[in-house]
Amino acid sequence: MTTTHDLVHVSTQSTMPRHPLEPLTPEEIAKAVAIVRAERNLSEQFRFPAVVLKEPPKSVMLNYQSGDSVEREAFLILLDNATGATYEAIASLTRNTVTSWQHIPGVQPNIMPDELSECEAAVKANPAFQAAIAKRNLSLDSVVVDPWAIGHFGLPGEDGIRLSRCLCYVRTTPNSNFYSRPIDGLVPVVDLNQMQVLRIEDMGVVPVPPEPGEYAAEFIPMRTDIKPLEITQPQGPSFEVDGHHVRWQKWQFRIGFTPREGLVLHTVGYEDQGKLRPILYRASLAEMVVPYGDPRPQHFRKNAFDVGEHGVGVLTNSLRYGCDCLGEIRYFDAAMTDSRGEVAIIENAICMHEEDFGVLWKHTDWRLESVEVRRSRRLVVSFFCTVDNYEYGFFWYFYQDGTIQYEVKLTGILLCGVLADTPKYGTLVAPEVNALNHQHFFSLRLDFDIDGGNNSVYEVNTEAEPMGVDNPYGNAFSATSTLFKTELEAQRIIDPLAGRYWKVVNPSVQNRLGQPVAYKIIPGDNILPFAHPDSPILKRAGFMTKHLWVTPYAEDERFSAGDYPNQHPGDEGLPKWTQANRPIENTDVVVWYTFGHHHIPRPEDYPVMPTAYSGFVLKPVGFFDANPALDVPPSVPKQGICH
């Protein structure tokens, strides 16, 4: 049972926001759609892939003072199903008018959730598909059609048509796990604008795996030896929330949300000696790609751009207390539209709470018989999304010592095919079930403002000193910092054997020791793609080839693989922008960090995966004069004393 202060729910505001970076309210979203519909006389054939806040220019926000008048605008992406044309619009909510309308030729917006359900219905109503199912002696009612983005492979007849290539499965019972029983060799291809099946790729009848692969509680005998674990804060949480502005343990930041990126952090800063010191202006997931490693006709197209082709925000889960989050929870809703422009609200989209995180710091002076120990706690801001078979939890952690951590939690269900001979490109996880080898790549866009806008980026490597007069016993080593002056210099990969990290420095601000203030990026779990350099996936997702990219700030450079990766041939985004080799020293820089999770499946990952973890850490290095967590008070002891 929860007490009255266990759950605090913050719905999306219904009045005009007080701060220019507050997300659009439901009323503002409806107003933006109405303005564009009326002024452009839109037909019912138009869909609305995105209606989001058009954030004010960074230059405006850096000088913003409470009470300043800032125009409130919405940015819209629109798709005309009748013509296949894509448009971008800006609607002024302040002036009630469309201020910009632009046709964007040759692109496809993200696939929208209601397109998926309409696509499945169109496939199951198709006579050729029904005949293919009957040929396999399967019941149409038991079949599940899972539409996927088709990608771009230079194949004839696919350019200029909004397409989906569907994977098919069968349920053993109406409540069964269908992902455990793929129907290999049967792939419908659908025109999403017309919602018509263009062709059925039938590669021959392949027996469906025999076992249902159940994981839901109704099918599994539960263990009975787990005792309750309660997390309580009798005096309530330590954070304060005003709209989407958060204050916690000297941290301040703003929460944003978009259908494409999901959770966005704005204006992250830390209070130090009575001053709020900026660290990040904006931080978000800029792209996410899942390349699969099976070259067979059924599987080679499986390369999902989960941010650009679908949108992790629009696929966000409504979180449930006690299941997804524990403790003293503050929830935030997310407001957006469905594809027809109707307001849609995801309740409890973002979860925020505090967690105990063990020992923050400790020392025992045995001569004085004195112990000083402080317990660490962290603030957690997170959301979960479901992208077809996979679940992803995206977590930002804020620590009392100035550390920021980003972590992705990967769970859900493996993408499987039917076993063919030996599973060279996967792992046998159940009878006749081959879980495909794959990787997950996440690209973070980190718009740093370390104590101000002009920053520089260095690479730091640790090197052993040669033996000699100055190192007679061979024990010496030192860390060497190298400044990146241009974009091409800053395209780098990790090197854990050199202890490699990167630091973002403000050369104009020094700590009390005369050192420039900085934050460093510490890599975690990471890898490079195994796709060939000339492969279609690396043309479309070239950002995966480097772990670090640095660019000068540009308002229109938001997404690592470009604005419209769906069905795009590639060479957009970071690889294209950085060809200019712009200077990046002592300027307003954006750091793009990419990390990859490598997944060679195990039988233990089936039928549902235990959570895997991947991410990185941002740590202050000379940003503070000393340990900023010295003033964290001792914990109230359960017995005896803690100091």
Please check whether residue 629 lies inside any domain of the structure.
no
Extract the tokens encoding 600: 């060679």
Tally the residues of the chain: 643
Model pLDDT, residue 639: 57
User: Are 526 and 563 part of one and the same domain?
Assistant: yes
CB 296 within 8 Å of CB 135:
no
User: Are 317 and 426 part of one and the same domain?
Assistant: yes
User: Are 147 and 264 part of one and the same domain?
Assistant: no
Check which CATH number belongs to the domain holding 474 and give it: 2.70.98.20
Inform me whether the pLDDT recorded for 433 exceeds 60.
yes
Please check whether residue 273 lies inside any domain of the structure.
yes
Q: What are the CA-CA distances from residue 270 to residues 242, 399, 403, 412, 519 (Å)? A: 17, 11, 10, 36, 12
Using 50, 70 and 90 to split pLDDT, how confident is the model at 162? very high
Burial letters 2-26, b for 16+ CB under 10 A, else e? eeeebeeebebbeeebebbbbbbbb
Using 50, 70 and 90 to split pLDDT, how confident is the model at 508? very high
**DSSP string covering 374-433:** EEEEEEEEEEEEEETTEEEEEEEEEETTS-EEEEEEEEE---EEE--SS-TTEEEEETTE
Compute the distance between CA of residue 208 and CA of residue 169 in angstroms, rounded to an integer. Answer: 9
Tell me the residue range of the domain where 72 lies: 7-103
- End position of a domain, from candidates 165, 185, 219: 219
As for how many domains the chain has, the answer is 3
The one-letter amino acid code at 58 reads: K
3-state helix, strand, coil in the chain (%, to 5): 10, 45, 45
Extract the tokens encoding 289: 């790609």
For 346-356, write each residue's pLDDT tens digit.
999 999 999 99
Please check whether residue 633 lies inside any domain of the structure.
no
Using 50, 70 and 90 to split pLDDT, how confident is the model at 8? very low
User: Are 63 and 160 part of one and the same domain?
Assistant: no
CA 597 to mean position of chain CA atoms: 13
For 81-135, write each residue's pLDDT tens digit.
999 999 999 999 999 999 999 999 999 999 999 999 999 999 999 999 999 999 9
User: Are 198 and 89 part of one and the same domain?
Assistant: no
Model pLDDT, residue 12: 47
Using 50, 70 and 90 to split pLDDT, how confident is the model at 3? very low
Check which CATH number belongs to the domain holding 94 and give it: 3.10.450.40
Candidates 146, 184, 191, 306; catalytic one: 306
User: Are 209 and 246 part of one and the same domain?
Assistant: no
Model pLDDT, residue 357: 96
Burial class (CB in 10 A: 0-12, 13-18, 19+), 598: middle
% residues pLDDT > 70 (the chain): 96
Has 169 been annotated as catalytic?
A: no
- CA torsion, ordered 192, 334, 247, 378, to nearest 10 deg: -70
Model pLDDT, residue 144: 98
For 450-471, write each residue's pLDDT tens digit.
999 899 999 999 999 999 999 9
Please check whether residue 638 lies inside any domain of the structure.
no
Please check whether residue 293 lies inside any domain of the structure.
yes
Using 50, 70 and 90 to split pLDDT, how confident is the model at 279? very high
Using 50, 70 and 90 to split pLDDT, how confident is the model at 323? confident
- End position of a domain, from candidates 219, 252, 282: 219
User: Are 278 and 343 part of one and the same domain?
Assistant: yes
For 443-452, write each residue's pLDDT tens digit.
999 999 999 9
Compute the distance between CA of residue 257 and CA of residue 240 in angstroms, rounded to an integer. Answer: 19
CA 535 to mean position of chain CA atoms: 24
Query: Considering only 248-252, 325-329, 338-342, which range has the smallest mean pLDDT?
Result: 325-329
**Cα 80–Cα 81–Cα 83 angle in degrees, nearest 5:** 70
User: Are 297 and 342 part of one and the same domain?
Assistant: yes
Has 563 been annotated as catalytic?
A: no
Model pLDDT, residue 503: 98
For 392-431, write each residue's pLDDT tens digit.
999 999 999 999 999 999 999 999 999 876 789 999 999 9
Using 50, 70 and 90 to split pLDDT, how confident is the model at 5? very low
Q: What are the CA-CA distances from residue 542 to residues 159, 474, 478, 558, 570 (Å)? A: 21, 42, 34, 15, 8
Compute the distance between CA of residue 622 and CA of residue 510 in angstroms, rounded to an integer. Answer: 8
Inform me whether the pLDDT recorded for 1 exceeds 50.
no
Helix axes 127-135, 113-124, angle to 10 degrees: 70
Please check whether residue 108 lies inside any domain of the structure.
no
User: 640 versus 616: which is more confidently predicted?
Assistant: 616
CB 596 within 8 Å of CB 529:
yes
Please check whether residue 531 lies inside any domain of the structure.
yes
Please check whether residue 339 lies inside any domain of the structure.
yes
CA 492 to mean position of chain CA atoms: 21
Compute the distance between CA of residue 250 and CA of residue 240 in angstroms, rounded to an integer. Answer: 11
CB 321 within 8 Å of CB 352:
no
Q: Distance between terminal CA atoms of the chain?
A: 35
Phi/psi of residue 368, nearest 5 degrees = -95, -5
Model pLDDT, residue 16: 61
Compute the distance between CA of residue 357 and CA of residue 177 in angstroms, rounded to an integer. Answer: 36
For 40-95, write each residue's pLDDT tens digit.
999 999 999 999 999 999 999 999 999 999 999 999 999 999 999 999 999 999 99
User: Are 320 and 176 part of one and the same domain?
Assistant: no
- Section 535-544 average pLDDT: 98
Inform me whether the pLDDT recorded for 219 exceeds 90.
yes
Candidates 390, 397, 406, 564; catalytic one: 390
User: Are 121 and 215 part of one and the same domain?
Assistant: yes
Compute the distance between CA of residue 362 and CA of residue 351 in angstroms, rounded to an integer. Answer: 31
Model pLDDT, residue 7: 37
User: Are 201 and 167 part of one and the same domain?
Assistant: yes
User: Are 90 and 125 part of one and the same domain?
Assistant: no
Whose CA is closest to 529, among 616, 438, 425? 438
Inform me whether the pLDDT recorded for 4 exceeds 50.
no
- CA torsion, ordered 601, 603, 608, 610, to nearest 10 deg: -70
